[in-house]
């Protein structure tokens, strides 16, 4: 079973947080991009962050993970902040700044999850129409995290703090609807396996056309793998055994190894659109084997999702109604607050039967139209 993600929450910055904030600002990974030259000691830090900043419309928060403070977040009304910042800001433009202070939480996906939650909190609690941020152009790690959170680069600018890359996150059209999360399928929506690749493997090894997929996706074998009754390794060994029985004079082991080595291709346009438009968590619900986490890591998309639900870990697969109920429970939302997306009509119908708002995926153009209709209707 995969480890449960940390529970993330934001609390207003208080006097009790000043020692931790002072310590975090001394950490090399923070000090590289965030300096407070006018704060020479914790007392001056307290005066600035608890006194001066709120007067300028800056709202400071501390990020907690599983009940412990781990970082600093702030948002501000760009029209009010002053100090030479955002002189041309329009109504509804809010900005954010933040850092993860505790080193052990760096590069664990916590930052991206926290940013997404913070942005959605801003949209739900303020009249914000867009959220902006301005990372240092040389801070590639931060820029990549913002991209994965749905921020779009606008261009390099000069700020009172120096050169920066302006990035923008527009309010989702679903923000004013009852939808609070998007739950998406993986294969056929975000990940694809070109059919030609299988054909080329079979041709190279002298195998009958489509023989590998016919064996691999036999319901009696596949169902065991995607409900966790057998591991991914055993599933592939059984594919190999069946192929050797059917093609005894071919190098079946090499063919299956080559077929197994490929994690698929990601449609980043679709994934980025879902990430941008989700008014809350973006969750993955997929019928998959025990190899899912390894594939997602290889494809570098783990951090796009706030929640990953793998049927082989849950012990139940789509279209069973139970798996959709589990998803809603994990999201802490009612079924009517969850938008489900799948390329299988059967799975879409099953999701609707338990109350989810469900859409059949075919193309990204149709997806955009369907999402627009939902936003307008609700």
- Domain range list for the chain: 8-170, 181-192+264-377, 210-260
The residue-averaged pLDDT of 89-98 equals 94
End-to-end CA distance of the chain: 37
Q: Which two three-digit tokens encode residue 23?
A: 């310590």
What fold is seen in the domain 181-192+264-377? Rossmann fold (3.40.50)
- How crowded is residue 55: how many other Cβ atoms within 10 Å of its Cβ? 9
**Gap between the Cα atoms of 44 and 47, Å rounded:** 5
**Gap between the Cα atoms of 356 and 358, Å rounded:** 6
Q: Is the pLDDT score of 372 beyond 90?
A: no
* pLDDT the model gives residue 1: 41
**Gap between the Cα atoms of 217 and 200, Å rounded:** 19
Confidence of residue 4 (pLDDT cuts 50, 70, 90): low
- pLDDT tens-digit series, residues 115-127: 999 998 999 899 9
- How crowded is residue 320: how many other Cβ atoms within 10 Å of its Cβ? 15
Could you give the 3-state DSSP secondary structure of residue 308? strand
309 with 283: CB under 8 angstroms?
yes
What fold is seen in the domain 8-170? Aminopeptidase (3.40.630)
**Gap between the Cα atoms of 2 and 297, Å rounded:** 13
- How crowded is residue 16: how many other Cβ atoms within 10 Å of its Cβ? 10
For the chain, give the mean pLDDT: 93
Share of the chain above pLDDT 70, in %: 98
**Gap between the Cα atoms of 271 and 287, Å rounded:** 18
Separation in Å, CA 62 to CA 16, 21, 71, 188, 211: 11, 9, 6, 39, 56
Among the listed residues 114, 115, 116, 93, the one whose alpha carbon sits nearest the alpha carbon of residue 279? 116
**Gap between the Cα atoms of 299 and 74, Å rounded:** 32
């Amino acid at each position: 079973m995969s480890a449960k993600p940390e529970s993330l929450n934001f609390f207003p910055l208080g006097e009790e947080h000043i020692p931790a904030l002072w310590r975090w600002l001394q950490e090399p990974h923070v000090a590289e991009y965030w300096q407070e030259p006018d704060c020479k000691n914790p007392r001056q830090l307290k005066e600035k962050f608890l006194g001066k900043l709120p007067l300028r419309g800056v709202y400071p928060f501390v990020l907690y993970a599983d009940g412990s403070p781990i970082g600093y977040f702030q948002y501000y009304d760009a029209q009010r902040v002053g100090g030479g910042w955002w002189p041309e800001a329009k109504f509804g433009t809010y900005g954010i700044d933040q850092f993860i202070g505790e080193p052990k939480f760096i590069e664990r996906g916590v930052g991206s999850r926290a940013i997404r939650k913070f942005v959605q909190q801003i949209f739900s609690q303020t009249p914000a129409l867009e959220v902006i941020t301005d990372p240092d152009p040389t801070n590639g790690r931060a820029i990549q995290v913002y991209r994965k959170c749905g921020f779009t680069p606008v261009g390099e600018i000069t700020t009172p703090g120096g050169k920066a890359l302006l990035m923008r996150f527009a309010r989702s059209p679903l923000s004013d609807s009852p939808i609070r999360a998007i739950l998406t399928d993986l294969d056929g929506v975000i990940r694809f396996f070109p059919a030609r690749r299988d054909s080329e493997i079979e041709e190279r090894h002298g195998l009958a056309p489509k023989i590998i997929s016919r064996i691999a996706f036999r319901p009696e074998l596949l169902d065991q793998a995607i409900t966790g009754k057998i591991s991914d390794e055993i599933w592939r060994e059984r594919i190999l055994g069946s192929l050797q029985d059917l093609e005894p004079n071919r190098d079946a082991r090499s063919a299956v190894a080559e077929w197994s080595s490929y994690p698929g291709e990601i449609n980043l346009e679709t994934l980025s659109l879902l990430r941008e438009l989700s008014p809350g968590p973006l969750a993955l619900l997929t019928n998959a084997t025990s190899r899912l986490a390894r594939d997602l890591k290889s494809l570098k998309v783990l951090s796009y999702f706030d929640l990953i639900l793998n049927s082989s870990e849950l012990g139940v697969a789509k279209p069973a109604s139970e798996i959709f109920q589990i998803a809603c429970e994990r999201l802490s939302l009612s079924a009517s607050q969850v938008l489900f997306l799948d390329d299988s009509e059967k799975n879409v119908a099953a999701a609707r039967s338990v109350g989810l708002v469900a859409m059949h995926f075919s193309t990204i153009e149709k997806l955009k139209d369907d999402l627009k209709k939902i936003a307008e209707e609700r």
